[in-house]
Amino acid sequence: MKTFIANMASELKTLRRELHKIPESGLKEYKTTDFIEKTLASYGVTDVKRVLETGVVARIKGQDKKPTVAFRADIDALSVEEPEKEYASTHKGMMHACGHDGHTTILLGFAKYLMSLEEPPLGDVVLIFQPAEEGPGGAELLVKAGVLEEYGITKIIGCHMFPDVEQGKIACKSGALMARNGEVYIKIYGKSAHGAQPQLGADAIVAAGAVIGAVQSILARNVSPLDSGVLTLGKISGGEACNIIAKEVAIDGTMRAFSDEAYEIMTKRLEEVVSSVAAAYGCVGEVEFNHMYRVVMNDKELVDILEDVAGDCYQESPAYMLAEDFSFYQQEIPGIFFFVGTRNEDLGFVCPLHNAGFDFDENVLCLAVEIYAGMLEQM
C-alpha cells in the first residue's frame, strides 16, 4: 500500500496544482467538477453521479462483506486575491485559501489506490466531492437530497489541511472537535431628531452601546462555566450625520459553541437582552440569526481506529471554535473529521487558513491517502 501511494507523489502534486489554478465559489464549481469526473474516468471509476449540479458522488463497488463507508472532500474556494506564483489561481479574486484543492486531490488519489487493488474492498466505498462548504453548506444540501440513504452509507470520514499542526502529524479528538456556528444581525430602531434637541428623539446609537455592553453578560452569566462559547460583535453601522440623533443602528456578529444547549441559550438570551435593553432607551431591538453549521462531533470508535492507523504521527487535538459543514453528515451517521498537519517553518508554510499566503507541501497528500487506506482496512 505505502509503496503504491508513495509512487503517486508526483501525480498528486500535479493534480493539486491544476486544481489550485481553477478555484470556484460554492455551487459554481463547474470546471472543478469536470476535472474530477475526467480524472476518475482515467482511473476506471465508472459509477459516477452529478449531485447539486457541481458535486460528484462516485461509488467503488465492494464485495458486500462490510457496510458502505463514505469519504468526503469539499471542492469550493474563497473570494481571496492570490499573490503571483507558479501555480497561482487563474480566476481573479478567487483562491484555494482553505486547502480544498488538497482535500479533492487526496480523494482522487484514494480513488486511484482503490482501483489498483487486486481484490475490491470488502464493502462499497463512496467518494463524495462536495460543493459549497464555505457557504451555503453543501453537506446539508446533500443530506437533504438523500445521498446517504441512496448509497446506504453507514459511516463517513473527512480531513482538513491544517497549518496549526506540524507537517507529518495527524490531529484529532473524540467528541466535539469544531463548533456550532451562526451569524447574528441586530437592528436597533430609534427616532431621529436634531442633535441639539435629543429629548425629542430616541437615540439608537446610545441604545446600541448599551446593548453591546449587556450582550457580554450572556456568556459570563447565562452559559455554564463548564461550556465554551464565543459571541463576537464584529461590525456596527448607523447614524446619518454628526448633528442628528440616530434612528437606526445595525450590529453584526458571530456566535459559536461546542454544544447545542449552550448555543440555544445564547440564541434565546440574545433576543431577550436586545429587546429589553433597547426598550429601556425608547428604542426597538430585533435580532435575526443565520444558523449555519452544527458541532463536529467525532465518533470515538473511529477516532480509535485513526489513532491506531496513524501511529506515531497521531496527536491529540484541542477543540477549535472554527466550524465545518461536515457536521451535517455526523448528525445522521457516525463520522470522523481529522486534521492533516501542514505547518512547515523551514519551507515557509505558516500562514493561517483563509489567508492569501496559505500553502502547503504536497508531500502531505500521500500521508492522508495512506490514512484513508489504513482506516478502510480496519473498518
Exposure string of 184-200, with b = 16+ CB inside 10 Å and e = fewer, is bebbbebbbbeeeeeee
Exactly one of 134, 140, 307, 362 is catalytic; name it: 134
Query: Which of the 8 DSSP states describes residue 145?
Result: T
Q: 225: helix, coil or strand?
A: coil
**CA dist 19 to 66, 163, 207, 239, Å?**
33, 20, 49, 45
Exactly one of 24, 29, 74, 325 is catalytic; name it: 74
Helix (H) or strand (E) holding 249: strand 248-257
Q: Residue 152's closest CA among 366, 333, 356?
A: 333
Give catalytic status of residue 134 as yes or no: yes
Q: Would you call the peptide bond into 318 cis, given omega within 30 degrees of 0 as the criterion?
A: no
Residue with cell 444547549: 261
Cell of 38: 475526467
Strands, E assignment, 52-146: 55-60, 68-74, 125-130
CB 328 within 8 A of CB 294: yes
Strands, E assignment, 40-169: 48-51, 55-60, 68-74, 125-130, 153-166
Rounded distance, CA 289 to CA 248, Å?
19
Sequence-ordered list of residues with C-beta below 8 angstroms from that of 225, at least 6 positions apart, any chain: none
Sequence-ordered list of residues with C-beta below 8 angstroms from that of 229, at least 6 positions apart, any chain: 219, 223, 255, 256, 257, 258, 262, 263, 266
Residue with cell 484541542: 318
Give catalytic status of residue 362 as yes or no: no
Residues annotated as catalytic (active site), given as ranges: 74, 134
